[in-house]
């Protein structure tokens, strides 16, 4: 195997990179600057050592406690529960939310052997007991697993006084087109229709 084939093969294991784009990227790396290639290589080699889970919320962090958890300006009465660390970054990038996060580390999926005991529910309960949360926003994915996980969260938290439970709205994506909406999304946007 030549160096180019070897590089293409390694690249094709990245998400969203098929054999054709892998070889296109490999070719491009012959023409990019040596400095860029070395920076990229260093960044890839080091990323796993640089990033760890935040010891409070479980999202990606370069420090023991992540910038969100240690930010005194965040609203400490709101807790947004997500499946993955990536979700924190997506929500943060939207600027739509200013409270705290809790990363479950996945969703309940009995078929894949993922039960509540495999997710960070113990820590969630502990945080809610020790914190001053007034609202828990469930932001699991609008999928079967995400729905199951949302129901489970409701089940374990529903009897707490003074704690409001909400879930992110599902419906037509903004800028989308009715014509291309799938049936489930359309059904959900009918069920969740609001006064206008």
Interaction site with a copy of itself (CB under 8 A) = 2-4, 6-7, 10-11, 13-17, 21, 23-30, 32, 34, 36-48, 50-51, 60, 62, 85-86, 89
Residue 64 vs 166, nearer CB to a copy of itself: 64
Instruction: Let me know how many helices (H) and strands (E) the chain has, helices first.
Output: 7, 6
| CB-nearer residue toward a copy of itself: 62 or 122 | 62
- Cβ proximity to a copy of itself: between 53 and 188 the closer is 53
> How do beta strands 135-138 and 164-167 pair?
parallel
Give CA 68 to chain center in angstroms: 15
Nearest CB to a copy of itself, comparing residues 23 and 120? 23
Name the minimum Å distance from CB 19 to a copy of itself.
10
Min CB(17)–a copy of itself separation in Å: 7
3-state class (DSSP) for residue 45 = helix
Structure tokens at 1: 């195997």
Burial (CB count <10 Å: 0-12, 13-18, 19+), residue 62: exposed
Q: Which is nearer to a copy of itself, 58 or 85 (CB)?
A: 85
Q: Where are the alpha helices (DSSP H) in the chain?
A: 3-11, 19-31, 34-50, 85-94, 121-130, 144-157, 183-191
What residue has token string 């890839």?
44
Q: How far is the CB of 191 from a copy of itself (least distance, A)?
A: 29
Q: How far is the CB of 189 from a copy of itself (least distance, A)?
A: 24
* Minimum distance of a copy of itself from residue 64's CB (angstroms): 15
């Amino acid at each position: 195997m030549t160096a180019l084939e070897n590089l293409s093969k390694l690249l094709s294991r990245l998400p969203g990179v098929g054999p054709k784009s892998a070889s296109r990227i490999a070719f491009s790396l012959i023409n990019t600057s040596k400095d860029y290639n070395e920076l990229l290589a260093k960044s890839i080699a080091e990323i796993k050592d640089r990033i760890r889970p935040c010891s409070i919320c479980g999202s990606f962090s370069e420090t023991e406690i992540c910038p969100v958890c240690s930010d005194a300006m965040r609203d400490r009465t709101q807790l947004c529960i997500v499946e993955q660390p990536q979700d924190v970054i997506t929500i943060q990038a939207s600027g739509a939310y200013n409270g705290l996060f809790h990363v479950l580390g996945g969703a309940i999926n009995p078929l894949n052997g993922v039960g509540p005991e495999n997710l960070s529910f113990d820590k969630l309960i502990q945080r809610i007991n020790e914190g001053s949360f007034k609202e828990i926003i469930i932001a699991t994915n609008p999928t079967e697993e995400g729905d199951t996980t949302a129901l489970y969260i409701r089940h374990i938290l529903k009897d707490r006084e003074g704690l409001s439970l909400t879930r992110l709205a599902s419906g037509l994506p903004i800028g989308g087109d009715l014509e291309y909406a799938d049936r489930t999304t359309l059904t959900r946007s009918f069920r969740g229709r609001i006064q206008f």
